[in-house]
Structure 1
């Protein structure tokens, strides 16, 4: 999981059967890559992802990764791109189920009317991520 503003207690709540271990050097390298993804989205590191989801979620997440830095797509665009144009709400739900913020750039999805829509970490953070990307 890659998220903002979550502490160890939140991780235990989300993953009650997980064993949470202190970071070792390999994990520190992954964390550095994740920080780089936020700070320099135009130089997205190739980090290994292990995300579980339905076939539809996987298709949506793959499509999110195709959105170029500095651009956005609507939930309707994503639904159409995965071959399910009527599944706009399901595309939004899949977007929200993403467990690796920034690496699967769910923040690049907005409403058809151009408004931000939702973001698990707040609309201010979503706007800041989009602004940072547009500045690149």
Structure 2
């Protein structure tokens, strides 16, 4: 067989190299040559499937659409970088931290966070949410006052709903002034569960 007749890709039996091992090697290579800007993985929890994303700076996004990630992946590509790759190993520590919060084994997320997706007034709110103590709640009005905009109650609600790092940054601790739960990106049942876990 002449050299120009050689196949460009040598077929490998599917069972010869596990798919997860191939993905891990690809992710490691991409990171090594500077081609991995955003690592993603899914995490199955009792709140549902979460989609986690991280940059080199830290966890940048947690969404409740792990089973249907297209919208989140499009946002990450548009707002951060199109160089996104499934790289679970980079997110193992973050996944353990989130699981611990969901199960009541931790009181705060202790890994690095990247707030690149929180901007303007929303970022001010997200920063303030980190100060709400474990097991306590604040009203949207109290958070608005804390960020220096007491009339911006609706804007605080919007900022909580758009929090790019729910669970890690506890927007679930913000409720209506009458004590009712209000909206939550993961749905009312998820918010109720997180508050119940924290209540002990």
Report the TM-score, using the length of structure 1 for normalisation.
0.87
CA contact (8 A) 1:60 1:82 kept: yes
Give the Cα–Cα distance (whole angstroms) in 2 for the partners of residues 45 and 94 of structure 1.
20
Q: Which moved more, 1:28-37 or 1:114-123?
A: 28-37
- Pairing 1:36-115 to 2, within 5 Å after superposition: 36-40=100-104, 42-52=106-116, 53-115=118-180
Give the Cα–Cα distance (whole angstroms) in 2 for the partners of residues 31 and 93 of structure 1.
26
- Pairing 1:113-128 to 2, within 5 Å after superposition: 113-128=178-193
Q: CA 1:87/1:42 → structure 2, altered by over 3 Å: closer, same or farther?
A: same
- Kindly tell me the number of residue pairs found equivalent between the two proteins: 135
**Aligned-residue CA RMSD in angstroms?**
1.9
Report the TM-score, using the length of structure 2 for normalisation.
0.61
Of structures 1 and 2, the larger Rg is shown by: 2
Give the Cα–Cα distance (whole angstroms) in 2 for the partners of residues 41 and 90 of structure 1.
32
Structure with higher strand content: 2
Structure with higher helix content: 1
Output one character per residue of 1:22-63: Cα deviation in whole Å (capped at 9) or x when no partner: 224332222222222222364323211112333322221111
